[in-house]
């Protein structure tokens, strides 16, 4: 068994095709096929079922690919740790971020990038459920998600900031805030139901007797803002407003009675040997949280 075989197995799991897996690994399709066949012979189990429309992992393959991902992650951690001893931490860190936290992610990761210029950061916009799944599957290194609303899985959590909610609107309203109950009968543009932010908002509206209709549903914060500009109000996090300010012609009115807040933070896999880049990110995030306290 060698690392290249494990890389091919992980690529097959992600691509579902020998051809695409070979392209992803910069190898030939026959080389990938032969390597997987040798791995199957060595392990004594069928890992991949060859089908006319692609390649599908068998149940043993689904189980063993998790070990392959963890083994490759360990090798990557070893390699990155070696760069630290050489004088500079280098490597690639993949961070899954819920859409409502994307406006804050640059500020949250700035310390890491400033302290370690050799780090390459990849940001993926993912739902909270996807962050849990991708983290468990070793497809991302860490996540930025809600900590206190729905289960986040077996993770180490570091709180970063508290999210609150505002009504973003072009309507002229009296007062400097809006009660949740005042939104009863409103037509809003909102995030899609698969987003935890939407579930938080739906719950707040329901608890306060406000029945609303979602005229537009999207997984894009930018799209929400464009529809607000076109005349449909939306409920957004105050993190977006704090970063970008209130667009011309709009008002951001805090939603109160009650004021609802949720903790957003960094989640990482529970392990005794934290990957060097994850450890550096956690240290940077913790230092920033202390500064803001």
pLDDT (tens digit per residue) in 60-118: 888 898 888 888 878 877 877 777 776 778 889 999 999 889 888 988 999 999 999 99
| Secondary structure of residue 128 in the 3-state scheme | helix
Instruction: Give the pLDDT confidence score for residue 143 in this predicted structure.
Output: 96
Q: Tell me 219's DSSP state.
A: S
88-159+264-292 against 165-260: fold identical:
yes
Instruction: Give the pLDDT confidence score for residue 50 in this predicted structure.
Output: 84
CATH topology of domain 3-71: Arc Repressor Mutant, subunit A (1.10.10)
pTM, to two decimals? 0.77
- Is the bond preceding 87 in cis, omega lying within 30 degrees of 0? no
**Residues in CB range of 7: below 8 A, 6 or more apart:** 25, 72
Looking at the structure, give the CATH architecture of the domain made up of residues 165-260. Answer: 3-Layer(aba) Sandwich (3.40)
The tally of CA atoms less than 13 A away on the side-chain side of residue 161 is 20
Sorted by where each begins, the domain ranges of the chain are: 3-71, 88-159+264-292, 165-260
CATH topology of domain 88-159+264-292: D-Maltodextrin-Binding Protein; domain 2 (3.40.190)
**Residues in CB range of 217: below 8 A, 6 or more apart:** 189, 190, 191, 192, 193, 198
Measured CA to CA, the distance from residue 211 to residue 209 in angstroms comes to 6
């Amino acid at each position: 068994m060698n690392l290249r075989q494990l890389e091919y197995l992980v690529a097959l799991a992600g691509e579902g095709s020998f051809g695409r897996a070979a392209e992803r690994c910069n190898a030939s399709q026959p080389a990938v096929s032969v390597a997987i066949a040798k791995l199957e012979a060595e392990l004594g189990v069928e890992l991949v079922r060859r089908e006319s429309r692609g390649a599908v992992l068998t149940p043993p393959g689904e189980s063993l690919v998790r070990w392959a991902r963890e083994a490759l992650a360990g090798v990557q951690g070893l390699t990155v740790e070696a760069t630290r001893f050489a004088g500079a931490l280098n490597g690639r860190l993949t961070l899954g971020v819920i859409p409502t936290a994307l406006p804050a992610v640059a500020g949250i990761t700035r310390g890491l990038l400033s302290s370690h210029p050799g780090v390459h950061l990849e940001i993926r916009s993912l739902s909270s459920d996807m962050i849990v799944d991708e983290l468990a599957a070793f497809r991302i290194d860490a996540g930025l998600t809600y900590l206190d609303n729905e289960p986040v899985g077996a993770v180490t959590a570091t709180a970063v900031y508290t999210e609150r909610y505002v009504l973003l609107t072009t309507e002229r309203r009296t007062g400097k805030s809006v009660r949740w109950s005042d939104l009863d009968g409103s037509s809003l543009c909102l995030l899609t139901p698969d987003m935890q932010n939407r579930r938080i908002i739906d719950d707040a509206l329901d608890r306060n007797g406000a029945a609303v209709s979602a005229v537009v549903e999207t997984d894009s914060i930018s799209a929400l803002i464009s529809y607000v500009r076109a005349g449909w109000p939306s409920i957004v996090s105050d993190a977006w407003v704090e970063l970008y300010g209130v667009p011309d012609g709009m008002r951001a009115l805090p939603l109160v009675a009650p004021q609802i807040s949720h903790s957003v933070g960094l989640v990482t896999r529970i392990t005794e040997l934290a990957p060097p880049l994850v450890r550096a990110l956690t240290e940077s995030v913790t230092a920033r949280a202390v500064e803001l306290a």
